[in-house]
Amino acid sequence: MYTIEMKNPRQFFWAIPVLLLLSITATETLAQDTSDNATAWIIPIVGDIEPSMVTFVRREARRALDEGADYLVFDIDTFGGRVDSALQITSFIMSIKKAKTVAWIRNTETSMGVSWSAGALIALSCSQIYMASGTSMGAAAPVTIGSDGKTEGTGEKTVAAVRSQIAALAEKNGHPTGIALAMVDYDVELWEVTVDGVVKALTLTELEKLELLKPGEAGAPKEIRRVGIVSPVGKLLSLTAGEAYHLGLTRGLAEDHEELLDLIGAAMVLNESVPSAWDSVISFLVSGAVQGLLILIGLVMVFLEMQSPGFGIPGTTAVVCFVLVFGSSFLLGRVGSLEIILFMLGLGLLAVEIFIIPGFGVTGISGLAFIALSLILSMQDFIIPQFEWEWALMGRNAIVVCAGLLAAITGIAIIALLGPKTKMFNRLTLNTQIEQTASEGGGWQEDGSIESDFSELAGKTGKTVTVLRPIGKAEIEGTTFQVETDGSFVNMGEEIKVVKVKGNNIIVRSV
C-alpha cells in the first residue's frame, strides 16, 4: 500500500480535480479498447422459416456465445414461414443475455431484401435493427392456407396472440410499439406525428390519449402535430429502409459488413455461419411431401414383410423409412418416448389383426389410429393445441399423415389383388408345397427340385385352415395345401373350391 504525504494542505484540493480527470480519461480509454475489441458473429436466417431453421439458429447462436462473440447479427432475408417456428426463434433470441442481438436486412445480388411476416417478428425480437437501402420489412399478420389453396387470414384468437407477442417484443427492445402492431393487425391505424419536434409513429389510440392530456399534466407534450397517416385501417404496414429509419424503427442504414460493424461498434466479424449439408437434408426430410411419401412406402413395406417368410428387403425398407421419419423429427426435438410407444403399439395391433384375428375390425383400425397419431405428434412440438394456429398446424400434419395412410392402404389393396399374378412378387410368397413328397403327384427333376402336379385337385372342395389374404392354407381331401384366391379375402374355416390349377399355384374361391 502506498501513501502520499502532503506537507501543504492546499495540495490536497489541487489533487482532487487532477485525480478526477485521470479517472475519466482512463474510463474512456478502457471503453474505447473494449469497443475496438468487440466481435460480431453473423447467423443467416434465409428462406422459409421452418422447424429446421429453429435448430440451426439455436446451434449457431450457442456456438457463437461459446466463442465469446459480443454481437449476434441475424442476417434476415425471408418472406415468412411457420408461426410456431418463428415464435420459437424469437423466444430463443430474447433469452440471450451474454451478447447483444442485431437484426440486419441487407440487399445483395442473391438476396430478396425482405423481412416479412415471420421475418419481421424475428427482427423485432433483436435489440437493434439495421437495414440496407432497397429493403423492406413488415406484413407480419398470421395467415393459413384455405381449402382453395390460397392464403387467408387466421381468426381473431391467433391474431390476438401474435399481436400481444409482437407488442411485447417491441416494448422490451425499445422499438416503436405502434409500428409493430400495425404490421400484424388490420384494425390498427398508424399516424406519423411530431411530439415536441421529435418524429414518432403512434396508433390512433395512443395519439388521441396524448392529445387529451392538458398542459402541465404528467407526460403532456408542449407541442404535438399530426403529419399524416402511415397505415390506414384495413391495411398491413410494410416499411422501406428509409421509412423505417425516419420513423425510428431502425437505428441506421448498413449496406455491407464494414458499415454495420461501424454502426454497432464492433471491430471485426468473428465468423459467418453457413447451413451445412445436414441442415439441407433434414429440411428436405421434414417437408410435408417427403414425410407423406416415407409413410406410404413404410406401411406398404410393413405389409409385404408380414406376408413373406423371414425378414428381408421389405422389412429393411420399412425400418429405413420410419427411422428417417422419426429420426429427422428427433433431431428437431419433436419426438419423445410417447410417439415411439404409440407407433410400436399400432404396429403390434396390426400384426395381431393380420395373423391372429380374421377379417379387419376394431384391432386393425385401432392400430392404424395409433400409428397416425404417433406420426402427427412427431411433426409438432405440442400434444394438445391451445391456440388457433396450433390447431391449424395439427390439421396440416393430420392431412399429410392421412394422405400417406390412404395411399398406403390403396397400394396394399392393389398388391393384394395383383401381387400373386406378378412375377416381381414371386419371391415374397412361398409357392412350393412342402406337405407333398416326390411320389405324391410329382417327380424329381434333374436339378434336384420337386416338380408338383396338382391338376387332379381342379374342381374339388375343401376348407380354409388360415385366413386367405389372398394367400393362405386350405385342407383338401385330408391334405393341407398352400392356396390363393383371385384377390378376395376368405376367412378361416370357410368352404372353398379349386377353380384352377396353374403350375404350383392352386387357385380357389369361397363356396
How far apart, in whole angstroms, are the C-alpha atoms of residue 392 and residue 149? 14
CA separation (Å) from 105 to 18, 46, 74, 77? 47, 10, 8, 6
pLDDT reported for residue 24: 44
> Residue 68, Cβ neighbours under 10 Å: how many?
11
**Residue 360's pLDDT is what?**
60
What is the length of the chain? Answer: 511
Per 3-state DSSP, the chain is made up of helix, strand and coil in percentages (nearest 5) of 45, 20, 30
Distance CA(187)–CA(190), nearest Å, equals 10
Q: Give the single-character DSSP code of 127.
A: S
Please report which confidence band the pLDDT of residue 371 belongs to, taking 50, 70 and 90 as the band edges.
Answer: confident
Of 387, 419, 440, 436, which Cα lies nearest the Cα of 304?
419
Measured CA to CA, the distance from residue 358 to residue 92 in angstroms comes to 53
**Distance between terminal CA atoms of the chain?**
112
The candidate with the shortest Cα–Cα distance to 357, out of 471, 434, 503, 466, is 466
C-alpha cell at 173: 427492445
Tell me the CB-side half-sphere exposure of residue 412, using CA atoms within 13 A: 23
* Domains of the chain with CATH codes: 15-176+239-275 (3.90.226.10), 189-232 (no CATH), 278-427 (no CATH), 430-510 (2.40.50.140)
For residues 97 and 117, the answer to whether their CB atoms sit within 8 Å is: no
Residue 216 has pLDDT above 70, yes or no: yes
Give the integer Cα–Cα distance in Å for 169 and 111. 26
Cell numbers standing for residue 202: 403512434
Contact 356, 363 (CB under 8 A): no
Question: Given CA atoms 371, 375, 381, 387 in this order, what sign does their dihedral have?
Answer: negative
Question: Is beta strand 190-195 parallel, antiparallel or unpaired with respect to 224-231?
Answer: antiparallel
Identify the residue whose cell numbers are 489541487. Answer: 14
Q: What is the pTM of this model?
A: 0.68
- Would you state the pLDDT for residue 348? 86
Candidates 295, 299, 287, 274; CA nearest to 332 is 287
For the residues of 394-455, what is the DSSP string, one character each? HHHHHHHHHHHHHHHHHHHHHHHHHGGGSGGGGGGS--S-SSS-TTTTEEE-TTS-EEE--G
23, three cell numbers: 479517472
- For the chain, the C-alpha Rg in angstroms (whole number) is 36
Q: Where are the alpha helices (DSSP H) in 174-287?
A: 177-184, 204-212, 241-246, 257-264, 277-285
Give residue-wise pLDDT tens across range 246-303: 999 999 999 998 999 999 999 888 888 888 888 888 888 888 788 888 888 888 888 7
Categorize the per-residue pLDDT at 310 as very low, low, confident or very high, splitting at 50, 70 and 90.
low
Angle at the Cα of 187 (from 182 to 191), degrees rounded to 5?
50
SS (H, E, C) 279-290: HHHHHHHCCHHH
As beta bridge partners, residue 163 has none
Helices 313-331/277-285 angle, 10° precision: 110
| Strand order across the 238-240 sheet | 114-116, 136-138, 238-240
**Amino acid, res. 107:** N
Exposure on the CB side of residue 148, measured as CA atoms within 13 A: 3
Contacts of 400 (CB under 8 A, 6+ apart): 288, 291, 292, 295, 379
pLDDT tens for each residue of 467-476: 887 788 889 8
Residues 37 and 52: their CA atoms lie apart, in Å, by 33
Least confident of 125-139, 199-213, 474-488: 474-488
Is it the case that residue 419 has pLDDT exceeding 60? no
- Predicted confidence band at 483 (pLDDT cuts at 50, 70, 90)? confident
pLDDT band with cut points at 50, 70 and 90 for residue 148:
low
Mean pLDDT computed over 3-30: 46
pLDDT classification of 40: cutoffs 50, 70, 90: very high
Task: Round to whole Å and give the CA distance between 54 and 44.
Answer: 12
Whole-number pLDDT of residue 366: 87
Q: Are strands 143-145 and 505-510 parallel, antiparallel or unpaired?
A: unpaired
Residue (of 352, 400, 412, 350) closest to 375 by Cα position: 400
28 has pLDDT over 60: no
Asked if 378 and 339 count as a contact pair (C-beta separation under 8 A), the reply is: yes
Q: How much is the average pLDDT of 168-190?
A: 93
- Find, among 262, 333, 352, the residue nearest to 253 by Cα: 262
* Region 302-311 average pLDDT: 71
Residue 205 has pLDDT above 50, yes or no: yes
pLDDT tens digit sequence for 185-202? 999 999 999 999 999 999
Mean pLDDT, residues 451-473: 80
